[in-house]
Amino acid sequence: MQSRREWLQSSIGLGGLLLTAPQWLSAKEIKAFHPRPLVDEIRLSSNENPYGPSQKVRERVQRSFSEACRYPYAYSDALAEKLAVVHGVTPESIIVTGGSTEGLKITGLTFANSGGEIIAAAPTFLAMMDYAKQWGATINWVPVGQDMGYDLEEIEKRISSKTKLIFLCNPNNPTGTLVPAKKLIDFCEVAAKKTLVFSDEAYYDYIEEPNYPSLIDAVKRGENVIVSKTFSKVYGMAGMRVGYLIAPPALAAEIRKNVVAMSNVLAVEAAKEALEDHEFYHFSLDKNKEAKSQIYQLLDHLGLYYVPTHTNFVFFRSGRDIRELGPAMLQKGVRIGRPFPPFYDWCRVSTGTLEEVEVFQKGMLEIYNG
């Protein structure tokens, strides 16, 4: 592995790219926030937080091992009560799941398992739709607009008597776009009177727009809305599989019948601690901003268009077929995001540690300036 000086010299030689000097972690920060180690194959492909679980969360897990002989029901109920306080809803509105993916899947199963229709953007996160199709649902795909954002007007036009659910991933994966706040509220007020609106808010914590609304507010008003959340992203717990749904109690009761995986005692206890670890939460967001800035600088230097992101990944027009760029970057030691048809000349790359982003930058410079 090259030293910082060697890397800067080689990058200048490859294209004259000068970067804002990143803030390297102190020994104290490394101990508290556990950045993942630099490895030969860096995975910037799955939008995982490169930090965590935090030291406080790890210590909570260790203290909880004596409870690992127990079934998780009471522990999950206690987490639901804690989450209810955080979000200002009743515990009956919270469903703790084995990652938010389980929440998405069981919602699709609950409401579209008998030939019903789901309206969704293309591209978007596919877990709900792929699973629902196995149970007889059909998907009405609405392409994103030129700005890679949701075409809410077209989605509203397509609502019919067959529509069981509208799936919104906001901010959207893989595009990183955010529905303008007023448009989101106006759309929800109309659409939720006609069908169920599901809002996947896995990346909500990364939104930098002040006072941006969550559709949890619509749940509190009793509207026909379900929101999913996760501990996988900003809390750095993707491997522990803890997510949750927030829904009006009547809808939550229907979904709860289909919960299969749940989570486990250690993960649930970790989630409780993560909610209290505000230092790690803000550290995680700050480091994401730094890594995002480094990626932006590279793309600006290379003249590659990108969508300003509200997430922990960047979606950019690669100008090269992703089916060729992916293997080429893998040879440089970095795994980037998979293809998102029909956007084969676009690439999604996750924010990693600053050291990982440097390797990504170096590989991109070598490929594009080679």
**240: its two tokens:** 């522990």
257 Cβ contact partners less than 8 Å away, ≥ 6 residues apart: 110
Give 290-295 contacts, CB < 8 A, sequence gap 24+.
Answer: 290/22, 290/23, 290/354, 291/351, 291/352, 291/353, 291/354, 291/357, 292/351, 293/20, 294/19, 294/20, 294/22, 294/354, 294/357, 294/358, 294/361, 295/349, 295/351, 295/357, 295/360, 295/361
Burial class (CB in 10 A: 0-12, 13-18, 19+), 311: buried
Partners of 340 in the beta sheet?
343
- Name the 3-class secondary structure at 288: helix
Q: Which amino acid is at 248?
A: P
CB distance 166 to 197 below 8 Å: yes
Place of tokens 């080689």: 10
- The low-confidence residues of the chain, meaning pLDDT below 70, are 1-23
Q: Which of 322, 331, 338, 314 is nearest to 370 (CA)?
A: 331
- Residue 146 has a pLDDT of 93
For the domain bounded by 65-276, which CATH number is listed?
3.40.640.10
> How many distinct helices (H) and strands (E) make up the chain?
14, 12
What pLDDT digit, counting tens, does each position of 74-98 carry? 999 999 999 999 999 999 999 999 9
In this structure, the chain runs to a length of: 370
CB distance 237 to 231 below 8 Å: yes
Each domain of the chain, given as residue ranges in start order, spans 4-54+279-369, 65-276
346 Cβ contact partners less than 8 Å away, ≥ 6 residues apart: 315, 316, 317, 318, 322, 340
- Residue 17 has a pLDDT of 63
Q: Which amino acid is at 185?
A: I
- Name the 3-class secondary structure at 14: helix
- Residue 151 has a pLDDT of 97
CB distance 184 to 213 below 8 Å: yes
Give 4-13 contacts, CB < 8 A, sequence gap 24+.
Answer: 7/358, 7/362, 10/362, 11/361, 11/362, 11/365
- Residue 76 has a pLDDT of 95
What architecture is the 4-54+279-369 domain classified under in CATH? Alpha-Beta Complex (3.90)
CA 46 vs CA 80, 98, 335: distances in Å: 27, 18, 9
Q: Which of 119, 211, 242 is nearest to 169 (CA)?
A: 119
**20: its two tokens:** 């804002």
Q: Which amino acid is at 170?
A: N
- Tell me how far apart the alpha carbons of residues 125 and 212 are, in angstroms, rounded to a whole number: 21
CB distance 298 to 318 below 8 Å: no
- Tell me how far apart the alpha carbons of residues 223 and 246 are, in angstroms, rounded to a whole number: 12
- Residue 72 has a pLDDT of 92
CA 343 vs CA 179, 216, 268: distances in Å: 20, 32, 38
